[in-house]
Amino acid sequence: MTPGTGLPEIVAVHMTVAIAATAIGPVALWARLGVRQRPKLHRAFGYVWVALMVATATSAIFIRSTLAFSWAGFSPIHLLIPFVLVNLAAAFWALAKGRIAVHRRHMVYTYVGACLVAGLFTLLPGRFLGDLLWGSF
């Protein structure tokens, strides 16, 4: 447990890298928008974001669910693990093939699905962050 929080270390790691990825992702996406593009900024923040997403997905493997509808400790939200890893691999494959639009689509889908949508679900009452936010803890 993380001292003073009652939070398992792996959950603390997972939350930290997930929140950092959610914050950094828009910078990587923004750096390639508009007339004045910033490819070095895009690449730097993109690599950091990818590393954070791999860390988020990897750490999620070790977080087990206690929900009644989980299987071997994996709940439906754990489906984001292969979603993230497959989309990141596909995005880099597309980039290597010069298919920039496909690369962009995979990265945007990964950010929206794994950072924004999943992030909103973590804020529901009954979930750790949701209970912290809404005072039900």
For position 97, what pLDDT does the model report?
98
Judge whether 13 lies within some domain.
yes
Asked if residue 4 is part of any domain, the answer here is no
Structural contact between residues 74 and 81, judged by C-beta atoms closer than 8 angstroms: no
* Residue 36: inside a domain: yes
Decide which of 4 and 35 is more confident. 35
Q: Does residue 2 fall inside a structural domain?
A: no
Segment 108-132, tens digit of pLDDT: 999 999 999 999 988 888 777 888 8
Rounded alpha-carbon distances, angstroms, from residue 61 to 28, 75, 110, 118, 125 = 26, 11, 17, 15, 23
**For residue 3, is it within any domain?**
no
pLDDT digits (tens, 9 = 90+) for 69-104: 778 878 888 899 999 999 999 999 999 999 999 999
Looking at residue 45, its pLDDT comes to 97
Is 24 within 8 Å of 52 (Cβ atoms)?
Answer: yes
